[in-house]
């Protein structure tokens, strides 16, 4: 009983830091998806150079552990900016570095799942669009994309949950997110109540990922329900 009370107490202390986790995750998901879209387009482009570049990029990023990516961005980018653009970015909010690292990390699986979703839609859909006079872009936007979106959804949810967990490494460069907060709580208690603290933290991650799953299945269901109810 005491343990449960403790966990609830720690939940209350950890939750305020959820903002940082959500900001970092959401920004990386949005930016990473956009980058992933560009990469997917590059992978399917007619230019060999673009295709090879995209493939090399994705294979390198996929092989990089997230903690290493965060460190490379955190230590490497300021140097790069200094040498190339003669700009000092040491003073940047550390959160930006994490967002950049996670964006890069997320773009690789995102590009892969966008490409496969796009390829799962039959070529005939595009041809039919062209034959009723629509442009390739209009057909892509109105016909292909909505269908590919539904195909990509479950895998996309998976990638989002993965990113959320990788985001737990944010604390490693000194951003005070929920994990860092948990460490502080444990330190303040001189190492006591450690497992209760981390249990509370795990609980929060569990609920978030549950919410992501639930959200996705709701969207999927509404899509199917729409088709059923209209045609009676």
Partner 1 sequence: MLTIEGLKKGYEGNEILKGISIDVNKGDVISIIGPSGSGKTTLLRTITTLEAADGGHITFAGVDKDFEKLNGKDINTIRRNVGFVFQNYNLFNNKTALQNITEGLIVARKVKKSEAEKIALDALERVGLSDRKNHYPSQLSGGQQQRVGIARAIALNPEVIFFDEPTSALDPELVGEVLKVMQDLANSGTTMVVVTHQMSFARDVSNRVIFMADGHIVEQGDPKKIFENPSEERTKKFLTDILANV
Footprint on this chain of partner 1 (rule: CB under 8 A): 122, 124-125, 127-135, 138, 142-143, 146-147, 227, 230-231
Torsion over CA: 115, 160, 97, 58 (sign) = negative
Main-chain phi, psi angles of 175, to 5 degrees: -85, 135
Q: How far is the CB of 215 from partner 1 (least distance, A)?
A: 21
CA distance 185 to 101: 27
Return the number of the residue (125 or 183) whose C-beta is nearest partner 1.
125
Residue 32 or 129 with smaller CB distance to partner 1: 129
Q: Which two tokens stand for residue 180?
A: 């860092």
Are the CB atoms for 36 and 102 separated by under 8 Å? no
CB of 129 to partner 1, least distance (A): 7
- Complex with partner 1: residue 49 or 132, whichever CB lies closer: 132
Rounded least distance, CB 159 to partner 1, Å: 23
**Shortest distance in whole angstroms from residue 135 CB to partner 1:** 8
**Residue closer to partner 1 (CB basis): 140 or 205:** 140
* Terminal Cα-to-Cα distance of the chain (whole angstroms): 54
d(CA 123, CA 140): 11
């Amino acid at each position: 009983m005491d343990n449960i009370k403790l966990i609830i107490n720690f939940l209350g202390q950890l939750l305020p830091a959820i903002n940082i986790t959500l900001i970092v995750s959401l920004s990386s998901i949005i930016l990473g998806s956009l980058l992933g879209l560009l990469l997917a387009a590059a992978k399917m482009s007619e230019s060999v150079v673009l295709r090879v570049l995209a493939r090399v990029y994705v294979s390198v990023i996929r092989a990089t552990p997230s903690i290493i990516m965060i460190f490379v961005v955190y230590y490497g980018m300021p140097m790069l900016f200094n040498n190339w653009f003669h700009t000092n970015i040491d003073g940047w909010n550390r959160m930006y570095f994490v967002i950049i690292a996670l964006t890069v990390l997320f773009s690789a699986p995102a590009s892969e799942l966008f490409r496969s979703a796009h390829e799962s839609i039959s070529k005939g859909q595009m041809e039919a669009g062209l034959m009723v006079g629509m442009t390739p872009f209009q057909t892509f936007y109105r016909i292909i994309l909505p269908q590919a979106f539904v195909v990509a959804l479950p895998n996309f949810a998976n990638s989002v949950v993965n990113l959320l967990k990788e985001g737990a490494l944010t604390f490693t460069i000194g951003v005070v997110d929920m994990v860092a907060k948990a460490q502080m709580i444990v330190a303040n208690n001189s190492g006591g109540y450690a497992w209760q603290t981390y249990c509370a933290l795990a609980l929060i991650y569990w609920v978030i990922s549950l919410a992501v799953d639930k959200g996705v299945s709701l969207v999927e269901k509404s899509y199917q329900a729409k088709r059923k109810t209209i045609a009676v």
